């Protein structure tokens, strides 16, 4: 028994000594290896590389290509983006990157729709993009449309966007015409509504399907309120225009529906009362309703009187008057002012600048009642 006990003790002593030697050698290795043991040409594995994630929205937008000026525009337009959570914001930007949108595009989109990044753009994203690419014909055209109207990614896809697009296609607007309206009229999808009365208005204009003005007539009537349309037609009737003449005018110049009742009323009052023209002239020359009353119509009419008093040629009268009112500012000055001797030019320029600077009575104290959407 004793020899066996002796062998067991000897074996435990040898194991203990071996462990002490290994620990001491390992300690020496740790103390002496103070330099890098990686060869210069050795490549680290991807798992060994430290991945730096952006900590806040500022770093995210900078990585996206936005400069300090871009950041200033974004945060001034929507201050809450400064404290936006990094992960959701980065996720949305990654979705937008698949559409080819750049940092400058993001700045324009935020300026247009400040709360864009508060929306759930990931909802039905793939289905929506497939539908829009098919509608616009290419991803590049879709990118341009999204910069113009970012809400294309936020509208209710199944209950709002698809039904409205289908409605316009049913009425007769599709393809390039529909694309042009979607880009030029960002409110087309959320504000469109049609009923029997609106369809009757479209017929009254006399504009046929496939004609150049059809898409403008249909889209503007579609996004306008019935009460607003009635109010604008009644406003023109007050100046001696018949209902038939008014709808014919709207068929030829549908953008009149975008003008406020107040602007049309002031221009019509000046044209009929001061210029002594008949309503028929306005029907034949709709630009008189679009012209700026204070910057174009009034100053040029006052200059026409001044030229008549000074007996200078050319005179602004007759058919020349309508041409003069449609001229650009540079051409108008060259034709009617700069053609005279220098002393006369100086006098006429001084008079014309003074006429353009005149304000209507109590203009500075007038309270402007804004009704919001002018349609």
Task: Give the confidence band of 359 by pLDDT, cuts at 50, 70, 90.
Answer: low
Give the model confidence (pLDDT) of 68-110 as tens digits. 898 899 999 989 988 888 888 888 988 888 888 888 899 999 9
3-state secondary structure of 223: helix
DSSP class of residue 150 equals G
The pLDDT of residue 26 is 43
Handedness of CA 72, 74, 79, 85 (dihedral sign): negative
Q: How far apart are the first and last CA of the chain?
A: 112
**pLDDT over 60 (residue 117):** yes
The pLDDT of residue 15 is 44
**Annotated domain spans of the chain:** 55-118, 119-192, 193-275, 291-359
Q: Choose the weakest-confidence range: 27-31, 61-65, 301-305, 338-342.
A: 27-31
The pLDDT of residue 2 is 45
Give the model confidence (pLDDT) of 145-188 as tens digits. 999 999 999 999 999 999 999 999 999 998 899 999 998 888 89
**pLDDT over 60 (residue 1):** no
Read off the pTM: 0.75
Contact 350, 302 (CB under 8 A): no
Highest mean pLDDT: which range of 14-18, 166-170, 316-320: 166-170
The pLDDT of residue 312 is 86
Higher pLDDT, 185 or 15: 185
Cβ burial, residue 351 (10 Å; 0-12/13-18/19+): middle
The pLDDT of residue 127 is 94
Average pLDDT, the chain: 83
% of the chain residues with pLDDT over 70:
81
The pLDDT of residue 52 is 57
Q: Across residues 6-24, what is the average pLDDT?
A: 47
Give the model confidence (pLDDT) of 208-257 as tens digits. 998 999 999 999 999 999 999 999 999 999 999 999 999 999 999 999 99
Task: Give the confidence band of 365 by pLDDT, cuts at 50, 70, 90.
Answer: very low
**CB pairs under 8 A, 24+ apart, for 22-31?**
none
Token pair recorded at residue 92: 């949305």
**pLDDT over 80 (residue 352):** yes
The pLDDT of residue 43 is 42
Q: Across residues 32-49, what is the average pLDDT?
A: 41
Contact 238, 272 (CB under 8 A): no
For residues 199 and 247, give the distance between their C-alpha atoms in angstroms, rounded to a whole number.
13
């Amino acid at each position: 028994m004793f020899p066996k006990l002796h062998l067991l003790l000897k074996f435990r002593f040898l194991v203990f000594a071996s462990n002490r030697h290994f620990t001491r050698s390992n300690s020496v290795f740790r103390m002496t290896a103070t330099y890098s043991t990686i060869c210069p040409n050795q490549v680290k594995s991807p798992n060994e590389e430290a991945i730096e994630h952006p900590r806040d929205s500022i770093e995210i937008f900078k990585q996206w290509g936005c400069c300090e000026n871009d950041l200033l525009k974004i945060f001034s337009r929507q201050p809450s983006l400064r404290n936006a959570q990094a992960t959701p914001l980065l996720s949305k930007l990654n979705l937008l990157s698949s559409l080819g949108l750049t940092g400058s595009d993001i700045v324009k989109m935020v300026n247009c729709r400040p709360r864009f990044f508060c929306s759930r753009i990931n909802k039905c994203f793939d289905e929506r993009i497939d539908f829009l690419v098919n509608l616009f014909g290419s991803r590049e055209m879709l990118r341009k449309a999204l910069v113009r109207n970012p809400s294309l990614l936020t509208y209710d896809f199944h209950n709002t966007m698809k039904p409205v697009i289908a409605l316009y296609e049913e009425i007769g607007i599709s393809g390039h015409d529909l694309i042009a309206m979607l880009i030029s009229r960002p409110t087309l999808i959320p504000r469109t509504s049609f009923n029997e009365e609106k369809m009757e208005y479209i017929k009254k204009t006399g504009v046929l399907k496939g004609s150049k003005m059809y898409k403008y007539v249909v889209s503007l009537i579609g996004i306008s309120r019935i009460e607003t349309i009635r109010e604008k037609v009644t406003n023109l009737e007050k100046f001696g225009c018949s209902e038939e003449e008014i709808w014919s005018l709207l068929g030829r110049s549908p953008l009149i529906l975008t003008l406020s009742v107040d602007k049309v009323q002031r221009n019509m009052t000046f044209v009929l009362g001061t210029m002594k023209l008949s309503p028929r002239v306005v029907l034949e020359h709709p630009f008189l309703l679009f012209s700026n009353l204070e910057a174009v119509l009034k100053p040029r009419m006052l200059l026409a009187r001044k030229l008549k008093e000074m007996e200078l040629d050319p005179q602004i009268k007759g058919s020349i008057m309508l041409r003069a009112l449609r001229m650009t500012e540079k051409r108008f000055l060259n034709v009617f002012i700069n053609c005279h001797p220098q002393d006369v030019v100086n006098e006429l320029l001084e008079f014309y600048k003074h006429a353009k600077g005149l304000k209507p009575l109590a203009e500075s104290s007038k309270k402007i009642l804004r009704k919001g959407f002018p349609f």
